[in-house]
Every structure is written in C-alpha cells, then in structure tokens.
Amino acid sequence: MLDMNFIRNNPEKVKENIKKKFQDAKLPLVDELLALDKEYRAIKTMDDELRGKRNAISKQIGQLMGQGKRAEAEEVKKEVKDIGDQLAANESREAELSVQVRKIQMAIPNMIADDVPIGKDDSENVEEQVFGEKTKPDFEIPYHSDIMASFNGLDKDAAGRVTGNGFYYLMGDIARLHSAVLAYARDFMINKGFTYCIPPFMIRSAAVDGVMSFAEKENMMYKIEGEDLYLIGTSEHSMIAKFKDTILKEDELPITMTSYSPCFRKEVGAHGIEERGVYRIHQFEKQEMIVVCKPEDSEEWYNKMWNYSVELFRTLDIPVRKLVCCSGDLADLKYRSCDIEAWSPRQQKFFEVCSCSNLTDAQARRLGIRVNGPDGKYFAHTLNNTVVAPPRMLIALLENNFNADGTVNVPEVLWPYMGGTKVLVPKK
C-alpha cells in the first residue's frame, strides 16, 4: 500500500506505474481516491473546528447559570446540541470515507523498481543468469509421477477417492526424501543465521488483507466456513503477520526467520490443477524465509535471499537459473521479484521452484509494522523467498539425479537425513 502523501504529491507517477503493470482499469482509482481523500480531510478539518467551538461555548453555560441567566444558558445548550448533531453526522461520513479511502489505497499497486523489465505477463520475464550445467542425458527420463510410482512412493488415485483432485499420498522412500529435503532446508537456513519457526497455519481476514492483494486472496485462499479464518497459502503470510500492529526497536533489525508449514491453495486461474503429477496441487509443504529490515537494507537482503536459493539447489546437484519478473508478472505489493527455476532434463527446460520478493514498505504499511528510529517512527521493509517447496522440487531432484537403470542418487547433503541411504532402488 502506497503512502497517501506520496499519492497526493505524485498522482502522475502512480498512474504511470499502473500502466507499466498493464492494469489500466485501475487508472480511474487514483482520481477517485484523491477526491475522497480531499473530502475526508475537509470534513476532518471542519470537525476539529466544531469541537473547538463546542468546547469554547460550553464553558459559557456554567457562567450564565451562575449569573442567573437561565434563558441565555438554554440557548447556548441548544447551540452545543446542534454542534453535537453536526459532529455526529460528520463523524459518520468521516468513518465511511476512511474505509473507502483505505480500500482504494490498498487496490493501487506498489511502485516497482526502475530497472524492472516492462512486460505484460510471465512470458516476458527475463533470464539473467544460469547456475550449473544443463544436462541432456542419453537415456529417457520418465515423467516424475512414474519415477515416484516405481518406488511405490505416490498414490493420487487413493487421494482422489479420499479428498479429490489436487491431493496425493507420498509413501516410503519418496515420503522420506520429501521430509529429508525439508529438514536439510531448515538446517541450511539456520546455518545462515535465520531463526526457525513453526507458525499458525490459519490466519484472520485482517491479516490476509495485510499480507496480500485482494485478487491474490480470491484466487488462492481457502476460507474456514463460519469463522474468520483462512488456511495459509504460504507460511510467509503468518510469519509477516506476526508483527502486525507492532512497533519494533531499530536495533532489533533485521529480523530473519525461516519457517516450516503445510500450504493450501485453490489454484484458481489459467494454470489449473495438474491431473497426473504433483507440480500444481492444492496442498504441499514448504520451508520459507522472511526478512523484516530497515529500508536502506532491503535491496541487499533481496540479493542475499535469492542467492541462498541458488546455493541450496546447487548442493542438491540441480542446475538453476535466475529469472527476473517483468512488471506485469509482479503482484500488487511487490517492488521487485525474481523466480529461481530448476532445470528439467526430461523436458529440457526450466520450471519455477522459488520466488523471491522485495515488498519495500507496502506490506508493512497495510499491517502497521513500524520501527522506532532515532528520528521517529517509520515503516519497515519486508521480503520473502521460498527455501524449498516439495513435492514440486522433488521433480527437479529426482530428474537430475535419475540413472539409466531407474535408480536415483541421493545428494550427499541429504545422506544424514536419509539414514545413510545413498541410492534409491525402484520397487518395480
């Protein structure tokens, strides 16, 4: 959410930013917001004057009564009542305007970084760098669900009967590999100095509205019927919301946390749910990282965070690339973002496994996360990034470590988490 003063002073910049994000339907919101804000401030000024006047003339009532001027005192009482009635009407309108202003303010996207590439959607994202060698094996690599099935490790048919499409059972070596990856990712981030956290898996609507745009909420979140609770789509939601309506001490920053959670997503939209595999599903588990920091430090943390993803995947023998997200692919709160994509030797292309974002103060402003600095209070900057999100990332791990005989090499860093197992051998 943008600062209202910034919008007042820079309406054309705000409109140009909306155009860069190809959200022209939102352009009228800027003028609508400014008109409502002007009315809101005018009423607020009037109310301040009325309160001052009421306080001043209220003092006359006791004086007049003491002087025996009852009739004049009654006239003053009537005037005080009239002012009170006017204030009540104004305050009601003021409250309405405040809600309308905030709603539109939250719908206007955050300003994007000057160097973000301009493009309509993810097809125009820009490859910046590749890490590792893109392999092309001289043998066929099966579809990832077939690899899992060869270890008796995946049952989507049973999950379909129990829960429906978009869910799965992981079993045996595949389930253990899944847990090993999460445990390794947890320890990897702890060794980077991040505090480990297991957050709530449900959050209230006020927290949801604080951490994400209205469109994301509609397309992603599952609501608990009859309660003001939503299942989290990613643990960054409850992690960042942990600091809602708090004032942090500047010497506490940066706050760096890594969290484990299950995640639940509707996956509404063009992508839909994958029928056969586990690439796009309703439920998955994830290790996440978040940072709350001073504004001047957020870009440095952004670069550290996506580099952590690269480093982690390279330790798992998985080639990756950094893909810079274009303007049209940035969610409304994002200042800049990049995807880390893993190489699929079966498909001979990359696919997304991590998403790193700097939201500057847009999220903190919605949530009321402030910092008490030497020159007064200011809004913190917030950032988030995926560490790993199996079972999707298992696709990359299995494909890049798959052998011609159907076995899968377990990367060395995972051996301690797999009871010393170095190679997975198919059951069929």
Please indicate, yes or no, whether residues 146 and 222 belong to a single structural domain of this protein: yes
Provide mean pLDDT across the span 119-144: 96
Residues 6+ apart with CB under 8 A from 188: 308, 312, 315, 387
Q: Is position 147 within any domain? A: yes
- pLDDT beyond 60 at 275: no
One-letter amino acid at 36 equals L
Please indicate, yes or no, whether residues 392 and 338 belong to a single structural domain of this protein: yes
pLDDT (0 to 100) of residue 165: 85
Please indicate, yes or no, whether residues 97 and 140 belong to a single structural domain of this protein: no
d(CA 112, CA 17): 7
Please indicate, yes or no, whether residues 90 and 126 belong to a single structural domain of this protein: no
DSSP assignment letter at 61: H
Beta bridge partner(s), residue 370: 247, 379
Strands (DSSP E) contained in 83-183 are 126-131, 154-155, 169-170
Q: How many CB atoms sit inside 10 A of residue 292's CB?
A: 26
One-letter amino acid at 428 equals K
Q: Give the range among 150-154, 164-168, 394-398 with minimum mean pLDDT.
A: 164-168
Could you list the residue range(s) of the whole structural domain that residue 96 is in?
4-107
Q: Give the range among 244-248, 276-280, 293-297 with minimum mean pLDDT.
A: 276-280
CATH, residue 253: 3.30.930.10
CATH, residue 72: 1.10.287.40
Beta bridge partner(s), residue 169: 155
Tell me: the pLDDT tens digits for 60-76?
A: 777 767 777 777 777 77
Please indicate, yes or no, whether residues 161 and 246 belong to a single structural domain of this protein: yes
Please indicate, yes or no, whether residues 190 and 258 belong to a single structural domain of this protein: yes
- pLDDT beyond 70 at 203: yes
Cα-Cα-Cα-Cα dihedral of 151, 152, 153, 154, to 10°? 130
Q: Is position 115 within any domain? A: no
Q: Which of 54-58, 135-139, 304-308 is most confident?
A: 304-308
Q: How many domains does the chain have?
A: 2
Considering the entire predicted model, what is its pTM? 0.89
Please indicate, yes or no, whether residues 126 and 100 belong to a single structural domain of this protein: no
Provide mean pLDDT across the span 78-82: 82
pLDDT (0 to 100) of residue 270: 45
- pLDDT beyond 70 at 208: yes
